[in-house]
Chain A
Amino acid sequence: MKPTSGARGERRFALLLFAPAFCALVLTTTVPLVYLVWTSLMRVDLSMPWLRGFAGVDNYVKMGVDPRFWNSLWLTLVYTTSTVALQVVVGLSLALLVLRIPRGQAALRIAAILPIVLAPVVVGLFWRTLVLSPDVGLVDVVTRALGFGSHNWLGDPQLALISVIAIHTWQWTPFAFLVLLASLSALPPDVFEAARIDRAGAWQRFRHITLPLIRPAIVIVVIMRTMIALSAFAAIFAATGGGPGTATEILNLYAYRTSFSELNLGYGASLAVVLLAITLGVSLVMFGVRRAR
């Protein structure tokens, strides 16, 4: 008797607590999403109002023959995989390194917090101007001092792509570093001791003991950073605007430019839908992988 009414009461109470957030989410995310999908099926081009009308899947078909779309898709892939890989590799190496230094860990943690809290748009802006400008930018000063000469960091297509990848990596590696450092510190010291007594080499210790133990943390870092890399926008927007040419125009920027520079809202919406589909697909796969382990 009592458990039943308790369960019903619990259900009611849960709904009471969850409903407000649920309604807010429906209103701020799902309703606009429906509108977005609907717009992606329409021909809405502000520069050609006379063409407005239902387009079915035309916008999606158009992507097939749109080289800029394929370019942006490719760049999204390059940008996402390289930034995530760099963050994990650099972050992990750094965490392993820091674990061994006797002092100064606190200073490093503070320095690591610095980029994370900054607004991506401001990061993009000051990299573009103060860090990467030829002649007076920090990187240029350093490369010249080291004898590598002056480079057109954001003006050359390849270098620009490398630069935006570097900006993202600079800002977010600390995240991977802090998470991995925390999980490394939480490992019981005796596993290492045992391995040391076995006289296993440093690499073997890492490969066979440390890595499996922190694998869950790495998987999570990969998942989270992938999601964020896929939605990256402001830093690239501020640093290169997608240029030079289309050298750094990832899908997000292409969708923005299509909607707001070219005013083709229908096509822009369909690009955003594709981006959403990719994000969902990738995350499903990743969560699947995570569960499988």
Chain B
Amino acid sequence: MIFSTVCNLLLAHNLDVTQGQELNLKKLNTSEKITSTHAVAWEKQLIAYEESLRANPWQKQLQSIAHNKMLLTGVVLGLIVLGLAILGPVFYDADYARQSLRNAHKPPFFEGYFLGTDSYGRDMAIRLFIGFRVSLLVAAAVTALSLLVGVMLGMIGGYLGGSTDRVVRSSTDFIWGFPLILVAVLLVGGLGEGLFPVILAVGIVNVAAITRVVRGEVVGLKEKEFVEAARAAGVSSYRIMWRHLLPNVLAPALIMASYLIAVAVIAEAALSFIGLGAQPPLPSLGKMIADGRGFLRINHWEATIPGIGIVVLVLAVSMIGDGLRDHFDPRLRHERGRKKNK
């Protein structure tokens, strides 16, 4: 409470002085002009202070982003990974499927192989880059899918309430507690191997998470005045959900999604480690680890490189997610404080 007091104190700066206006000091309630030089000087100081607070908002955003080390590191890492994934194969011309048993198990920097070769003599570097592509692709697909379905389900369940809500809630609780691997194995059993069942499996689990978050938000928002006002005005439920609830719900949903991207990457890796997911010769970071597993003594790079790749990718994603969240969250509190005083 004292902090809010302090904030109120510090933010109650907005005397209604517009920029560039002539100093027009009068004694309040009279038309006498104040002649004291001290008064004039003070008013100038005040206007200057006011202006400094209204300084370029973009500048302030960039400033606070620059201070946010986590976000920065994450972005840097992410750019590296993205660069390698997209541009790597462009500049590093190699075939990820080409085997060369003569050159198998070579460490990095051996002849032309930047990161060495695996047990089949395939180029590790290009496989790493393509592996990044696969991971990013799966993560993107999973996130898009889970956001779409999750937001929809969450809004429907949260807003409509009643039995619909109970169904939504129980199913999400159920899925959320389920070990991912079991879901994936079962799905693969039904749908066969390949990327699609993996995307579906991870997607389903992530949908549950997003639905939960969205539903929670909607239930909270449902009681707010602007929803009641819309309802009283006769706006249809569908419209309310679309125009009023959706924008408010997007923020927490996206924050959750940023966590889930990391989950998706690790899940895909875990599943491909077991053998589900991307089928050879398409490289997948998890599968590469599985392949390299038996050769740790001969050439540990085969297993360590894809592992490091996964770690870097997940780190990048989580740091960006965390940094964004930190960036927006305390700001939100700040902004609310400001609005109250205006």
Do A and B belong to a common assembly? no
Q: Using CB atoms and an 8 Å cutoff, list the residues of chain A in contact with chain B.
A: none
